[in-house]
Amino acid sequence: MENQDTFPTVLRQLLRTHQAFLSYAASHVHKLDLTLPQFDVIITLGGTAGMPYKTLGEKTLITKGTLTGVINRLEDKGLIQRVASKTDGRSQIIRLTETGNALFERTFPEHLQFINRLFNDYSLEDVATLEADLVRLQNAVSTARSELGESFIEDEEQ
């Protein structure tokens, strides 16, 4: 980047956009009596036969330490269940209950429409450009993190 003075402005805008997006998405999810991490688990499990805890953690946006509490609360609500893995006796499969699956089928399309409203003024080309820019930034962050070494990454996830 030629002009280093623009970096704080871009970073500030990225963080403001992230916070605004999370607040917007949460306003819809909270009407379902769920948190964003809980809904993330539901939509990740939706349409699947379930998945091991580790896979669920990799596919959601939830850190390892937070996922256990989210799973416990969803289980208390009767939306997910843990079943023993048939292939690995030490592993559990997390899957939606019938109630959880009905919630997913009823709310996921509605939530997508709610989120898609944000892009009403974007052309297909605008969306493609935004996605490409975000992927480029994510790749830059991933490269920078990997250059710092595994110990940093593990510390950040705890």
Tell me: the pLDDT tens digits for 65-119?
Answer: 899 999 999 999 999 999 987 877 678 899 999 999 999 999 999 999 999 999 9
Number of Cβ within a 10 Å radius of residue 41: 26
- Residues 6 or more apart whose Cβ sits within 8 Å of residue 92: 52, 53, 82, 83, 84, 85
Q: At what angle do helices 124-148 and 150-157 cross, to 10 degrees?
A: 110
Alpha-carbon distance of 8 to 23, in angstroms, equals 22
Structure confidence by residue, pLDDT tens digits, 104-128: 999 999 999 999 999 999 999 999 9
DSSP three-state, residue 83: strand
